[in-house]
Amino acid sequence: MVQKKVAFCLLLSGVILLIGLSTDNYMWFTWLYATKDSIDMQWYMYFFYSVLSLVVYIFGIIGSWCLGIYFVCVSYLLFKNAFFIFVDRIIAAGFVMLLFNLLMALHAKSGDSIILYGGFLGYTFNAIMSDHFFIYSLIVKLLFVATFLVLVQFSWFSKIMRFFTFSLGLIGCLPLCIRMSFLCCNVVEFCFKPILQNCKKFISLLLAFIKAKAASSRKKTIVHEYNKLLSELYRYIVPHITNQHSQVLIDDKCSISLVSANSKENEEPIANDNAEKVVGADVVNEYNSIPAVFFDSSTNSQLTNLLNKEVQGKAMRLEEKLKRFGISGNIINMHIGPLVTVFEYEPAVDTKLSKIITLEDDLAMVLQAVSVRILAPIPGKSVVGFEVANTQRQQVWFKDLFVSLAYQQGTQQLPLILGTDTIGNEIIADLALMPHLLIAGSTGSGKSVALNSMLISLLSKKSFYDMKLILIDPKRLEFMSYADIPHLIFPIVTHPKKAIDVLKWLVQEMDIRYQKMSAIGVRDCKEYNKKQSNKEEQFPFIVVVIDEFADLMITVKKDIENLITRISQMARAAGIHMIIATQRPSVDVVTGLIKVNFTSRIALRVASKIDSRTILDTNGAERLLAKGDMLFLDGMAGQLKRIHGPCISTAEIERVVTHLCRQAKPMYYDIDIVLNENPTLTEQEDNLLYQQVLAFIEQTNAISISLLQRKFKIGYNRSARIIEALEHNGLIMPADGSKMRRVIR
C-alpha cells in the first residue's frame, strides 16, 4: 500500500512537471501584460498570476531534467514484481487498448493521414522524427498509461471503469472494434488468469533451481533441491489444473505426470518401484494441502426457506393432535433441515412439559414420520422442539463442509468435520479442546463414515510435521485405506497385544514430554512449541483413533482400561488426543473410568434406550435415523446437539491418501526398540550405532535427542546416552536450554 501511495504521488508531481515542460513560458507573461492593460486587475490578482507564472517557468526549466528520472522511478515501481499484480496488469492493458483504439477510430472518422490513423504508433513515429508537438503528445500518453497502471491497483477504480466501459458498450456508444477489444481482453483474462498469476512464482523458482544446481556439487543435494522446487511448482501452478478435475503427481524420479481425478487409475495408489516404504525414509516433497477437487460435488438441490405444503400440513396436524391431548399452544417457527424439520411449539403457561414428552410415539403416527424426537425445552428458549423426520432425505456432502468458511477459516487446532445441525449450519469441532472423543453406534448407523470424515478433515488441515496418527483397527478392514500415509507413527495396528504395546509407548512418550515441559517451565505443548526455534524440537500433535473398542475390551480388558484411563487423564497437556469408537456401548465396554474422562461423546443410532443412556446419560439416540444422524454431547458447553454427518466415499478417501503418499514416505517406529531399551545389546552393536551417528553428524550442524530418535528409531534413553557420549568426546557443544546441540567441527 505504501508503494501505491508513493507511485501515485510521483504521478501527480509528474503532471505538474509535464505542464511546465509542454507550455510556452513566455506566453504567461504576455497574457499577464495584455490582461493588465485590458481590464482593471487588482494588485493581489496580478501578484498571484505572477507567482504562478514564475512557478510554471521554474518547472519548465527543471522539467526537462527531471522528467526522465521521474519516468524511470514510475516504471520501476509499476513493474516491480512485489508491487504489481499480473491480473491487474491485464485489466490495465485492456483499458489502454480501448483508449488507443478510440483514438484510432476518431482519426479514421476525421479522414486523417495513415500516420495519424495509427494513433499511438503514429505519434511515436513522429516523435522519432523530432517533432516537438508529437514529443509532448507522446509524453502525455505515456503519463496517461502510467496513471492507469497505478489507479488500476485500487479495486474501486477497476470496478468503476469496468462498469463505465460495459455501460457504453450496451448503449452502443462504443465502436465495434472497441467492444471487440474489450471482449478479447476479458477472454484473455478469464482463460489465462491462473497461469499469469503463477508466472512470477514459476520464474523465481526456476532461477532458484538454476542457482541451486550451479552452487551444488553433490548430486544428492541437487535432487533434493529439485524435489523441493517441483513441490513448489506443484503448489502454485496446479490450481488451474485441479479446477479441471485433475491432479499433478510428483514421483521420486522428479517427473510430473497429469492424472485425471475421476479415472480408475487414480482410485488405486500408484505403485513406484523406487519409492519403497522403509523405516526411516526421508521426506520426498514439501507438504501440500488437500484441494477441494478431490471430493465429489453435491447433487442435492438447495434447501429453500419457503415452507412447502407438506411441512404446513404437518404443522396443522401437530397442533390439532396436541389439542386433543389437552395441550394448548401454537407453532411459532419451523426450520427445514437436510434430515428433519424442527417445529418450535410455544405451549400455554400452565402446561407441564412431562405431559408432552410422553407423546413421541403418538405424534409419529399422526405425522406419518419415521421418527419424532421431543426437546422439552429447546436449550436457551422458552419453547418445545419437535424434530420430525423429513419424507425425502437430502444427503449432506463432505465437500460442502470442506469448502465452508467455518472449516477453511476456522481457528481450530485439530478441526473435526462433524456435519450440519438441524437447520443446516456447519458444525466443526476442535479435538484439542475436547480433548478426547467417544463414539458409539450400531451397525448401519454411519459410524465408519463419521470416522473417515474426521480423519480426512484432520489430514487436510494438519501436515505430517504438525500431527502424527496412531490407528488401531482390530477388525483389520476399516483403516486399511490409510496405510503408508506419512502421518503414521506405526503401521496400522490390528492385533490386541500389539495395541497394548503401542499404548504403553504412548504413555512413555507422554511422560517424556512432561519431563521436557517441566524442564523449561511451561504448562502445555503449545507453550513449549513457542519456545522452540527449531521445528525439529517441537511436539507434534498425536491423535490415536481406535475402532471396535469392544473387541479390545473383550480380549485385554484390564490392560487396555488402565492405559486408556491414564492417557485420557493426563495426555491433553502433552498434545495427545484419542478418538474411540465402538458398536456396543454397554457398561462393560464403556466403563465408568473411561466414561468420566471422555466428556465429549457422539451417539449415532443405537439399539435401545439403555445404550443411549450409557453413552449420553439420556434417551434419544435410539430414535435417531440411520446413516450419519447423530447426537453430539459437547463436553465444553455441556449441550446436546443433533447433527447430520457428511457422506464421503472410498474413492474420495483414496484420492487424498494417494496425494499424501506422494509427498513423503512413512517413518515408522519399531515398537520393539522404542518401547523398552534392550539391556542385552552387545558392545559391538552399540559401537555400530555410535559409528552410524558419527557419520550422520558429519552431514549436519546440530543434533538433539529427539532427532536421533527419529533418525535411527531408538528410544529416549539410548538416544540420551549417545548424546552424552558425543559431548564427552568433544564432538558437540554442551546443552543450552532446549536448543539443539551444535556440532563441533
3-state class of 300 per DSSP? coil
Q: Is the peptide bond before 269 cis (omega within 30 degrees of 0)?
A: no
CA distance 608 to 614: 10
- The answer to whether 447 and 615 have CB atoms below 8 angstroms apart is no
- pLDDT confidence tier of residue 671, bands split at 50, 70 and 90: confident
Quick one: CA torsion of 671, 676, 682, 686, rounded to 10 degrees?
70
Higher-confidence residue of 352 and 79: namely 352
Quick one: CA torsion of 106, 110, 113, 115, rounded to 10 degrees?
-10
Average pLDDT over residues 285-300: 71
Domain ranges of the chain: 1-84, 86-138+155-193, 309-389, 398-661, 677-742
CA distance 82 to 204: 12
DSSP character at residue 420: E
Q: Is the peptide bond before 338 cis (omega within 30 degrees of 0)?
A: no
CA distance 26 to 24: 6
Q: What pLDDT is attached to residue 72?
A: 52
Angle between helices 2-21 and 132-151 (to 10 degrees): 160
- pLDDT confidence tier of residue 458, bands split at 50, 70 and 90: very high
Angle between helices 120-128 and 86-110 (to 10 degrees): 80
Transcribe 239-261 into DSSP letters.
Answer: HHHHTTTEEEEE-TTS-EEEEET
3-state class of 330 per DSSP? strand
Q: What pLDDT is attached to residue 261?
A: 33
Higher-confidence residue of 15 and 443: namely 443
> What is 398-661's CATH number, 3.40.50.920, 3.40.50.300, 3.65.10.10, 1.10.10.10?
3.40.50.300
Q: What pLDDT is attached to residue 175?
A: 45
- The answer to whether 153 and 65 have CB atoms below 8 angstroms apart is no
- pLDDT confidence tier of residue 139, bands split at 50, 70 and 90: low
Average pLDDT over residues 576-597: 90
Q: What pLDDT is attached to residue 257?
A: 31
Highest CATH level, class, for 309-389: alpha beta
Pick the closest to residue 621 from 371, 396, 417, 390 (CA basis): 371
CA distance 420 to 434: 19
Q: What pLDDT is attached to residue 493?
A: 92
Q: What pLDDT is attached to residue 647?
A: 92
Query: pLDDT by residue (tens digit) across 691-712?
Result: 788 888 888 888 888 888 878 8
Query: pLDDT by residue (tens digit) across 547-564?
Result: 999 999 988 888 899 899
Residue 125 has pLDDT above 60, yes or no: no
Tell me which architecture the domain covering 677-742 has in CATH.
Orthogonal Bundle (1.10)
Pick the closest to residue 242 from 255, 261, 227 (CA basis): 261
At residue 219, what is the residue type? K
Query: pLDDT by residue (tens digit) across 477-523?
Result: 889 899 889 999 999 999 988 999 999 999 989 998 998 898 888 99
